Amino acid sequence: MLILFEISLLLGLIWSGQSQATRESIELFTSGPLRFYFWIGVLGLGLVVPLVVLGIVSIGVNIASLLLIEGVFHLLGVYLLRYIIFKSGVYVSAV
């Protein structure tokens, strides 16, 4: 459930580009130099892999190490999301 909430927050962030600085920041991590971290790291390893692992666990495979793996990949995705948000920040002068 938390992963689905995180996906909705990411989509809201991407679609809510209100100002020029926001659009530039989003462009930096969706198609700019940070795109690898976003597409592979955040969405792939941080969201899709944990969803697949949780799906395997919910089917009935009771391996505790799978939950540990899911947690590690989820934390990796959260870390990379914070990293790209900080790195893609665009400063706009008030002048």
- Model confidence pLDDT, tens digit, residues 36-74: 998 999 999 999 999 999 888 888 777 878 888 889 999
Q: What is the pTM of this model?
A: 0.70
- Model confidence pLDDT, tens digit, residues 1-21: 777 887 787 777 766 656 777
Cα separation, 76 vs 49, in Å, equals: 11
DSSP-assigned letter for residue 13: H
pLDDT at site 30: 82
Cβ contact 66:58 at 8 Å: no
